[in-house]
Amino acid sequence: MNDAAHDLHAPHFIGIGGAGMSGLAKILAVRGASVSGSDSKESETVLALRALGASVHIGHAAEHVPDGVSSVVVSSAIRADNPELAAARERGIPVVHRSDALAALMGGRRALAVAGTHGKTTTTSMLAVALGELGLDPSYAIGGDLDAPGSNAHHGTGEIFVAEADESDRSFHKYAPEVAIVLNVELDHHANYASIDEIYESFETFVGRITPGGTLVVSADHDGARELTSRVAGREGLNVVTVGAAEDADVRVLSVTARGMTSEVTVLLDGEELAFTVSVPGRHYAHNAVAALAAGAALGVPAADLAKALGSYTGVRRRLQLKGEAAGVQVIDSYAHHPTEMTADLEAIREGLEGAGRVLVVFQPHLFSRTQQLAEEMGAALALADASVVLDIYPAREDPIPGVTSELIIDAARRAGADVTAEHAFDAAPALLAGLARPGDLLLTMGAGDVTNLGPEILTHLESVATNV
């Protein structure tokens, strides 16, 4: 294989098990590249990559970079002192950012890029599934697994490439899509953006990368998205399609009706009403599906066919994913880590909850910088639950910030009237939550860190409680 921009015939990925990196490694392996990489720990994703022929080391060491590699691929999470990155620079091996690698993979395809502060993974997944259901076999790269380890990416035979476009480090400026979606625009990623104006400027640059004659699909309901639309209005060669419940939306959402854990959606598109089912709960997921519908139509896919195919999407791992049920308690995993996402998921669960059960949450804050800026809003979101347990902050790529702890969120939640408990011992959380839950309750493990691992353990404790009773 040959990529004009970067030599990716024998790439080495540092952090190959990550959501974004593993997808690119998979596509390259399927395309015939000799893929190697390293990750901090064994995982199902690593096993899936090895099954495709990739050579993956556990741990980071200079000797893990094999002879003959054509490039070393990194993400923004890789620190400058990583020994494999240092070895690449010493040996003169080209270092490629994952966004440049993804841009190279999209070359020669009809690219559709999905951007926004929230909802990117879900909307990209909806498009990947629906287009596949229609036999178009798109390539795709998503920030989460659809239904199994390694399902976050696919090398398709079709002409369409659907990709999640990440604004967090401005890497989405590298892409040149034919169609782009912007779901919403909010201030986040405080380590990289100092103000909302910087966020707007970054999204304006992304919109400017749409190919001449291409289309921007953008929310008509979200204040930040409407501001972006006003900033890019009138650009030559840019078609703008607005979507949402607002009366002036080009593709208007007429109704979203909750049906348990699904939603019935009716839209007005090109003067005709179109009704379809979204097989995940919540108004925000329904609106994501409408954005996907409009984007697919902009690529020439018949809207009626795409609407029906969108009903085949049943969710993505960690996005309100049912982990199981024990002792009459359902355990659901939520990736929500920003207050807007937390509120949307809790409202969606409320809409779909039948009976008199309670909504319980175990929340793990993600990043010190995000907690420092948004603790008050996170606390207010937790007030939507009947009871919450808050864990210590998951640091990810960040170093601690003095005075910034999960207590900031706990205090804010209590001011908002929430019933909230602190739990600093991660391993003690499953027993605590199992003791709080009652038959008919719904329990969410919420956050972008390793809180997802608690679901199976909570279920085990619930089964033990039921057996003892």
Which residues are tagged catalytic?
120-121, 164
What DSSP state is assigned to residue 392? P
Q: Which two tokens stand for residue 219?
A: 């929310």
- The DSSP annotation for 283-301 comes to HHHHHHHHHHHHHHHHTT-
Paired strand residues for 36: 12, 55
CA distances from 64 to 55, 83, 93, 245 (A): 10, 9, 14, 52
216/165 Cα distance (integer angstroms): 13
What DSSP state is assigned to residue 111? E
What DSSP state is assigned to residue 217? E
Q: Which two tokens stand for residue 84?
A: 């494999």
CB 166 within 8 A of CB 98: no
Task: Report helix angle 283-298 to 303-310, nearest 10.
Answer: 150
Place of tokens 């009947």: 386
308 contact partners, CB below 8 Å, separation of at least 6: 276
Amino acid (one-letter) located at 378 = M
Paired strand residues for 114: 164, 181
